């Protein structure tokens, strides 16, 4: 199914952003609509306090995870600190088949893996209006030291440079505009000729 362009089906949307860009807030707004499904990652690490199975992650055993890898059940996966993290594939294709857009919130490296497997996915990179604004937001949270903030700002700058590999750059200056920007991208994508050739046939048949 990979790489196949499907008419009238849901789209795979890959979203990346440095932390502090308001990605979570934008996606929470978008996910209020039933047209979208949020892809929940699977992991073999233990749940932390407050984490809910099926919401934060699908918490599965190492054996289950490795079985899924063998059976081509993971779209992409990686190992980190001795644990597996991955994107279960079947549910995504089921949802898209039902006309639901699936959102994958993943970091740049994972996104580039998905790009090779699913070139017809929509790749959106969210950036803050300025690096100084990102620093201000991180400071406002008040949870991190100056040193940690400086490190995260430097990391963010490095990640933002990789945005050139995405299809769209969404500048999050104001939440409402950013949500409308996101919706405009998906709305326009559905009208792209690659995904709407069937509409031409439908119109001509409707005689």
The answer to whether residue 183 forms part of the interface with a copy of itself (CB under 8 A) is: yes
Binding residues for a copy of itself restricted to 46-65, rule: CB under 8 A: none
Question: Coil, strand or helix: which one is 124?
Answer: strand
Instruction: Using alpha carbons, list the distances in angstroms from residue 44 to 56, 57, 60, 67, 68.
Output: 13, 9, 5, 12, 12
Question: Among the candidate windows 61-69, 94-102, 111-119, 191-199, which touches a copy of itself by CB under 8 A?
Answer: 191-199
Cα–Cα distance, 25 to 23 (Å, whole number)? 6
- How near is the Cβ of 207 to a copy of itself at its closest, in Å? 4
Token duo for residue 32: 């209020």
Nearer to a copy of itself, 52 or 203 (CB): 203
The answer to whether residue 202 forms part of the interface with a copy of itself (CB under 8 A) is: yes
- How near is the Cβ of 28 to a copy of itself at its closest, in Å? 20
Size of the site for a copy of itself (CB under 8 A): 38
The answer to whether residue 117 forms part of the interface with a copy of itself (CB under 8 A) is: no
Q: What is the dihedral of CA 61, 65, 66, 69, to 10 degrees?
A: 180
Cα torsion angle, 115, 39, 81, 135, sign: positive
Question: Coil, strand or helix: which one is 8?
Answer: coil
Identify the helix (H) or strand (E) that includes residue 153: helix 146-161
The answer to whether residue 206 forms part of the interface with a copy of itself (CB under 8 A) is: yes
Question: Among the candidate windows 70-78, 90-98, 108-116, 178-186, which touches a copy of itself by CB under 8 A?
Answer: 178-186
Q: How many residues comprise the chain?
A: 207
The answer to whether residue 25 forms part of the interface with a copy of itself (CB under 8 A) is: no
Query: Which residue, 84, 80, 118, 125, is CA-closest to 102?
Result: 118
- How near is the Cβ of 35 to a copy of itself at its closest, in Å? 14
Identify the helix (H) or strand (E) that includes residue 34: none
Residues 132-171, one symbol each (x = binds a copy of itself by CB under 8 A, - = not), give xx-----------------------x--xx-xx-xxxxxx
Residues that bind a copy of itself (CB under 8 A): 127-133, 157, 160-161, 163-164, 166-171, 180-181, 183-185, 187-189, 191-193, 196-197, 199-200, 202-204, 206-207
């Amino acid at each position: 199914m990979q790489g196949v362009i499907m008419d009238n089906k849901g789209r795979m949307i890959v979203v990346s952003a440095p932390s502090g860009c308001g990605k979570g807030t934008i996606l929470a707004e978008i996910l209020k609509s039933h047209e979208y499904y949020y892809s929940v990652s699977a992991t073999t690490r233990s749940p932390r306090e407050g984490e809910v199975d099926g919401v934060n992650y699908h918490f599965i055993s190492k054996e289950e995870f490795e079985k899924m890898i063998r059976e081509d059940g993971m779209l992409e996966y990686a190992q980190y600190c001795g644990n597996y993290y991955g994107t279960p594939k079947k549910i995504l294709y089921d949802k898209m088949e039902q006309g639901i857009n699936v959102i994958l919130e993943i970091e740049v490296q994972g996104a580039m893996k998905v790009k090779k497997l699913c070139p017809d996915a929509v790749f959106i990179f969210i950036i803050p209006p300025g690096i100084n604004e990102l620093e201000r937001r991180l400071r406002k949270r008040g949870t991190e030291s100056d040193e940690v903030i400086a490190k995260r700002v430097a990391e963010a700058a490095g990640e933002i440079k990789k945005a050139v590999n995405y299809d769209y750059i969404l500048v999050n200056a104001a939440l409402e505009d950013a949500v409308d920007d996101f919706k405009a991208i998906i709305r326009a994508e559905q009208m792209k000729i690659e995904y709407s050739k069937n509409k031409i046939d439908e119109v001509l048949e409707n005689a």
